[in-house]
Amino acid sequence: MNATLWGSLLAKGAMTVPQVLSEQARIRPDALALQLVDEAPLTYRELYHEGCALAAGLRDAGVRRGDAVVIFGPNSREVVLSWIAINLLGAVEVCINTAYRGSPLVHALNTCRARHIVASAEQLQLVQQVSDQLPCLEQAFVFEGEARAAGALRITSLDALRLPEAAGEIAAEVARGKVAPSDIASIIFTSGTTGPAKGVLMPHAQVCLLAAMTVRGLRLADSDVFYCFHPMFHMAGKFMAILGSLMAGAHAVLDRAFQPQHWLPRIRAYGATAGLAHGPMAEMIHAQPARPDDADNPMRRMIVAPFPTRIARDFEQRFGLRGVEVWGMTEVGVSVWCSLDEPLRVGSCGRNDDELFEVGIADPFTDALLGPNEVGELVVRPRLPWLLMQGYMGMPEETLAAWRNLWFHSGDSAYRDPEGNFYFVDRMKDRIRRRAENISSYEIESAALTHEAVAEAAAVGVPSEFQDDDDIKLCVVTRPGMQLQPAQLLRVLAGHLPHYMLPRYIEELPALPRTPTNKVRKAELRARGVDGEVWDRKAAGIEVRELYAK
């Protein structure tokens, strides 16, 4: 995307979610817009009308412009329509992780000070269990099954809330343009690996830019079908897949969950031509038994972040598609893209759009910008207003820390080659420092996953006998029915990694500890140390040089 396209989006009135929806309903009312797997599709006219009807009901129930309204439920038509209806009113939708319960749930609801929540019956029960800790919450709209009232929380059926006869009133409000690109559209809670989750304040301009860059990066057209299995509490699913498809006039197909064995059959069943996946998901897809006809499918391009280096080329060849690697995060959107016009450059997440963003590599201690091939922290700032987050809800200190020296600090380590291509290295907090070498845990994990018995892997640094130095501990989960021999795993790793990346310790676990957004809690793995049943290479008498001897 460039400044010219940005200007064209402004000219088209496509910089707020209501503008995108109303314009597409006008241009292509009878084209297919949204379809849940195994459900009938909605046209653009139907999607917009149902969104307006629900918005009218929310308005009459007391939702006002600027109010935060929480959505708490698995992927469904109701979740998407609730998001649309909330934004049509000029309110702020807060779709939270369905895994939240207890204190994380209380934290999210109290941080955004929501008075209203839209929830499935199952999720609403979790809310009711902590209702005495939610001083702001007044009303719940349940969209699935029945829920019994508890305490002072008023509960209404979402179906009963719709007011089709008043949909025109909402459409007229949208036409008057009362929602601005600078208004907050959404709050997304990022997973907290070392502290409570942070609520990212995302303005309409930011989320629409995410959609527009997806349209450009994948060259989406109205003939495309976009298959999405990401949850709606994730920016990739909501703003890149669904809003991006709607901005292109394409047909979005939304699955209820990610199941790698269903990926290829779903693509074939719905004629999907575009999609996206995070790196671990791509690896799980790739791990499915290969068939001679895997490339016989309509999928032609797919965003993969990151595109795992060990499978990237084979993934493209096996499934007959192009993988587009990108770098981004909720706070800054996706500001670095690989181009469809260039061949796959394994390991690179692409280049930044210099007309919209400045992206640099900074020294993590001084914030001074570094030169080519120097590893540092990836930092971003916008060239135009409202393109990045407007802060963390209720966390001014966290906001100031992230935005120090007028750059947003991503917490990711990376480098840029002389041609301007960026390469992600690791999360700064996950980087391992061993014998003066900065080591990427991601590379160790990718190598470990080449072993047939390893289902999951996470590498962390643990204190060595030297000051300010780490030894490497590799935590693995083995595949059901398989046994792991640590010494044999080391030999496999030696075939993929330099000597200084070989772990000293290997710990087998039944499962890796994860956050509600499925990120590995590496702080917990580090805190476990090397006591107990942790295998020690030195104690086993294995010399690293022997593993590399020819």
Q: Which residue has the higher pLDDT, 305 or 41?
A: 41
Which pLDDT score is estimated for 1? 41
Which pLDDT score is estimated for 10? 62
Q: Is the pLDDT of residue 148 over 70?
A: no
pLDDT band at 103 (very low <50, low <70, confident <90, very high): confident
Q: Which residues contact 289 (CB under 8 A, 6 or more apart)?
A: none
Which pLDDT score is estimated for 517? 63
* Cα three-residue angle 91-392-181, rounded to 5 degrees: 40
- The mean-pLDDT minimum among 61-75, 269-283, 439-453 falls in 439-453
Q: How does the average pLDDT of the chain come out, rounded?
A: 91
Distance CA 122, CA 303 (A): 32
Strand partners, 392: 200
Specify the pairing of strand 505-508 against strand 408-416.
unpaired
Specify the pairing of strand 432-434 against strand 357-362.
unpaired
Cβ atoms 379, 407 nearer than 8 A: yes
Q: Is the pLDDT of residue 2 over 60?
A: no
Cβ atoms 59, 135 nearer than 8 A: no
Distance CA 63, CA 57 (A): 9
Domains in the chain, CATH or no CATH each:
431-548 (3.30.300.30)
Detail the DSSP E strand segments found in 151-260. Answer: 154-157, 184-190, 198-203, 225-228, 251-254
Distance CA 158, CA 364 (A): 49
116: its two tokens: 């209203």
Q: Span 295-313, mean pLDDT?
A: 94
Most confident stretch, 11-25, 240-254, 494-508:
240-254
Render pLDDT for 460-512 as a digit per residue (tens, 0 to 9): 999 887 665 789 999 999 999 999 999 999 999 988 887 878 999 999 999 99
Which pLDDT score is estimated for 47? 98
Q: Which one-letter DSSP state was computed for residue 369?
A: B
55: its two tokens: 């918005």
Distance CA 506, CA 527 (A): 15
Cβ atoms 375, 415 nearer than 8 A: yes
How many other β-carbons are positioned within 10 Å of the β-carbon of residue 495?
Answer: 10
* Cα three-residue angle 422-215-74, rounded to 5 degrees: 95
Q: Which one-letter DSSP state was computed for residue 423?
A: E
- The mean-pLDDT minimum among 77-81, 172-176, 290-294 falls in 172-176
Number of DSSP helices (H) and strands (E) in the chain, helices first: 19, 26
Q: Which residues contact 17 (CB under 8 A, 6 or more apart)?
A: 84, 87, 88, 179, 185, 204, 207, 208, 243
Which pLDDT score is estimated for 8? 62
Which pLDDT score is estimated for 290? 97
pLDDT band at 293 (very low <50, low <70, confident <90, very high): very high
SS3 of the chain: helix, strand, coil, percent, to 5: 35, 25, 40
Which pLDDT score is estimated for 11? 61
Distance CA 356, CA 517 (A): 29
Q: Which residues contact 167 (CB under 8 A, 6 or more apart)?
A: 49, 52, 53, 55, 56
pLDDT band at 549 (very low <50, low <70, confident <90, very high): confident
pLDDT band at 100 (very low <50, low <70, confident <90, very high): confident
- The mean-pLDDT minimum among 85-99, 352-366, 488-502 falls in 488-502
- Which of 77, 81, 141, 132 lies closest to 106, judged by CA? 132
Q: Span 279-285, mean pLDDT?
A: 86
* Sign of the Cα pseudo-torsion (175, 177, 178, 182, in order): positive
3-state secondary structure 247-295: HHCCEEEECCCCCHHHHHHHHHHHCCCEEEEEHHHHHHHHCCCCCCCCC
Distance CA 405, CA 257 (A): 40
Distance CA 276, CA 119 (A): 26
- Which of 25, 16, 59 lies closest to 169, judged by CA? 59
pLDDT band at 216 (very low <50, low <70, confident <90, very high): very high
Q: Span 354-359, mean pLDDT?
A: 92
